[in-house]
Structure 1
């Protein structure tokens, strides 16, 4: 009897993972297609699961939204973690991947907003912000070194990046300027390089 227990446990875990993935994918689709319709019953139906099952994994719609955002940032991390470039080139390469993510998920991402500020969430170790730090920490720290900015200023440097180039601002920039992704990467990189140098002599 004991030899049958392990496969059963693995099957249950696999079902759980698959169900959660289906719910995350479903809420992302609905947020992109018709945000007003992205209720938990609609998400459960899109995922092919019962409402009770959906609530078992995500007790609130807000929790599901947060998990969706985390999955997006994890996807970005997977596409950037093996980049071989350094300094400004690494920043540009990471920004290019960020633009691709925003192209795909941006309309859904802008609808998922936190009630707290970025620095507060960074200090608290909020999972979404920690995921962003895994992606943007290496290129931002390398730029800080090149600009002569002390690493104690890193929280402000990454908060500055978030304020300038979160999904809402990227969508706005693309809409207003009509720039190609390549030109937008160059413009954003120059803007951030100029902005980050303002932290060099900060005493705060």
Structure 2
């Protein structure tokens, strides 16, 4: 029996998936190897497809980069959700995976920048920040519990962790300071714990009132 021939629509969907995958891989390589020359044209050329075709899938270069980062975050979200650890151990396992992901993906993790702050993007439902929330919500809640800090501080904990675990700074610690993965993780763990404890102390003081978040 002859295999059933795919119809034109199925073939087009297959081509679309292939081209998008090629573009996502290409933009990550371009960011790492040619960051100053990065453009939709350079990504399309590396992917081996036409620039006009690339623009059919992504309206702007920022959209293409965001799609790549979002894919990375989806994988990390799955890792976080599937982790069986609890308490501080859960936080440390996810933190280490985050550091590993940043070091594996390099500059691709820092190319996407925004003029809006973390909390503003979180409240606006920014897709990348929303994935970040899904990655860190359970590990940080476990860390707060381990530190005997109130669960109501979770939003602030995510805010502080986002600042301290910025991919740009992780790469700097590894490339410029020469820290190993273990050293980076230990440093970030201590810094995030210290920031949470310090924030909690200050905000619980009657001398400082913060808006209800």
| Equivalent position of 1:188 in the other structure | 188
Unaligned stretches of 5+ residues in structure 2: 204-208
Match of 1:137 in 2: 137
Q: Shift of the alpha carbon at 1:8? A: 4.4
Structure 2 vs 1, CA of residues 199 and 55 (structure 1 numbering), >3 Å: closer, same or farther? same
Does the Cα contact within 8 Å between 1:153 and 1:199 map onto a contact in 2?
Answer: no
Deviation for aligned residue 1:12 = 2.8
Q: Which residue of 2 aligns with 1:42?
A: 42
- Give CA deviations for 1:44-78 in whole Å, capped at 9, x if unaligned: 11112111110011111111111121122123223
More helix by share: 1
Note if contact 1:44-1:51 (Cα within 8 Å) is conserved in structure 2.
yes
Q: Do the aligned partners of 2:90 and 2:139 also contact (CA within 8 Å) in 1?
A: yes
Match of 2:57 in 1: 57
Q: Which residue of 2 aligns with 1:107?
A: 107
Q: CA deviation at 1:158?
A: 0.7
Q: How much does 1:7 deviate?
A: 5.2
* Alignment match, 2:122: 122
| Alignment deviations for residues 124-157 of structure 1 (CA, whole Å, 9 cap, x no partner) | 1100001111111110011122333333332221
C-alpha contact (below 8 Å) 1:88/1:189 kept by paired residues: no
Normalised by the length of structure 1, the TM-score is 0.88
Greater CA drift, 81-90 or 53-62: 81-90
Say what the alpha-carbon RMSD is for the aligned residues.
Answer: 2.2
Whole-Å separation in 2 of the counterparts to 1:9 and 1:152: 50
Which TM-score applies when normalising by structure 2? 0.85
Q: Secondary structure at the match of 1:81?
A: helix
Q: CA deviation at 1:95?
A: 1.3
Q: CA deviation at 1:173?
A: 2.1
List per-residue Cα deviations over 1:25-55 (Å, max 9, x = no partner).
1111000001122211111111121111100
| Residue correspondence of structure 1 range 75-114 to structure 2 within 5 A | 75-114=75-114
